[in-house]
Amino acid sequence: MDVSLASAWAALGGEPGLLRRVSTVVREGALPARLPVRELARACVGVCALAAAEWAARRAGLAQVPRVRVDDGAVAAAFVSERHLLIDGRAPVTFAPLSRFWRTTDGWVRTHANYPHHRERLLSALGLPEGDATAVGAALAERSSLEVEEAVYAAGGLAVALRTPQQWAAHDQAAAVTAGPLVEHDRTDTAHARVTPRPGAAGAAAAAGPVPSGGGPLLPAAGVRVLDLTRVIAGPVATRTLALLGADVLRVDPPGTPELPDQHIDTGFGKRSTALDLTRAADRRVFGELLAGADVVVTGYRPGALDRFGLSPEDLLARRPGLVVAQLSAWGPYGPWAGRRGFDSLVQVATGIAVVEGSAERPGALPAQALDHGTGYLLAAAVLRSLTEGAADGHGRVVRLSLARTAAWLLEGAARGGEAYRAGGGGVEAFDGAEGRLAERDSPVGRLRYALPPVSFDGGPGDWARPPGPWGVDEARWR
């Protein structure tokens, strides 16, 4: 399977003829890497924009799907949005001191300790009551990579041994991941959903055509209510994109584990944020009321982690027939690592990407957290395609994606080689960095500089309707 717009669109079950509506501006030098990262990023954003345009055409009754334009420059800026973000002139810190590569007796291991609880579990696994980089490095240098991987995992932390692509291919989890499709999507046999989500001021505008008479943008997801149960980058990128397209996105987090503030700001555009403790009966009732009015639920926790709250796909669909349930995980829903925590940086290390981008002696990394961002846009595309299909047959959908499967797609694309398919031409231009692709605005959390969204189609929005606000302060209700 090559890394191309066509293969991604096929994985989403899209009509091949719609690819003719896409044009691409190729910019040499964008997202440089040994692996076809630029092609992956272009494909993920392209199918997301095409799925948005397709859904817009169906809702508005348009004769043609609006034209889509994918610009490598805009895509590259968006794939490193966390690096472009400034908050009152301050640049966020993206990785904590203990989130990095470390030498072991037989190679390398990478840890992730951005969250305080993950840092504590890493130190506990190493027998360190407190610790800085020097102490952690000394402890890891005395152990093998696999020993560290298993010990930290057993303590509830995150560490992954460096593997080559060949070593990963021999792993049982790799076999489970590659046995499945890039995008797993199933139609449910539950009662029918609403054919078109509720209208409203935004919904009426969306129904008016690609350029509504009032001069506003076409918002294909207007009136769609999305419960966002995701964290970190990939899931929030997906729901940030749905918010761009007009959806009412309400992010719900447990109050005891707040999101990292800067990370929340980067992915919080267009959304609202509330906190509910699902161990409390009162908060469960509130969540049930939200679910009763939802059209989409997006989850980004480990498979099975939410089941004890009655939030498995089966339970959600039983409680809210016709729902679209979108599940994101690090390692996939099947296999021995399905229940493990994971992040983009760790998946790069386990799957051999870090070796390809560097070497076994000196591991490297992709030029962006491309597994996170790419999977996020694919996830948003899968939700949009589910809404389009559900409008036709009235049924809900369950879609599943994982960072590890996206990594496999990237490695498969490298094995095939060659420039990815570009529909509709569009030309080749020099890469000029983020020039013209950043914006500034005031927000409740300060003056922001940020990357503009890369999802672009005729009549569509060019920016989010609202900036991000503080984490967890919004009311737990729909607009």
Q: Give yes or no for a contact between 479 and 96, defined as CB atoms under 8 angstroms apart.
A: no
Q: What is the dihedral of CA 377, 382, 387, 390, to 10 degrees?
A: 180
Distance, in Å, from the CA atom of 100 to the CA atom of 414, rounded to the nearest integer, reads 25
Q: Provide the residue type at 410 as one letter.
A: L
**Cβ neighbours of 288 (radius 10 Å):** 12
Of 8, 84, 452, 76, residue with least CA distance to 244: 452
Distance, in Å, from the CA atom of 422 to the CA atom of 355, rounded to the nearest integer, reads 28
| Torsion over CA: 470, 472, 473, 474 (sign) | positive
Distance, in Å, from the CA atom of 4 to the CA atom of 36, rounded to the nearest integer, reads 10
What does residue 435 show for φ and ψ, rounded to 5 degrees? -55, 125
Residue 332 C-alpha from the chain's centroid: 14
**Tokens representing 457?**
């189609």
Catalytic residue among 186, 372, 442, 463: 372
Q: Does 372 participate in catalysis according to the annotation?
A: yes
Residue 419: exposure state from Cβ atoms within 10 A (0-12, 13-18, ≥19): exposed
Instruction: Give the helix ranges, DSSP H, for 352-420.
Output: 353-357, 370-393, 403-416
**Cβ neighbours of 370 (radius 10 Å):** 27
* Residues forming the active site: 372
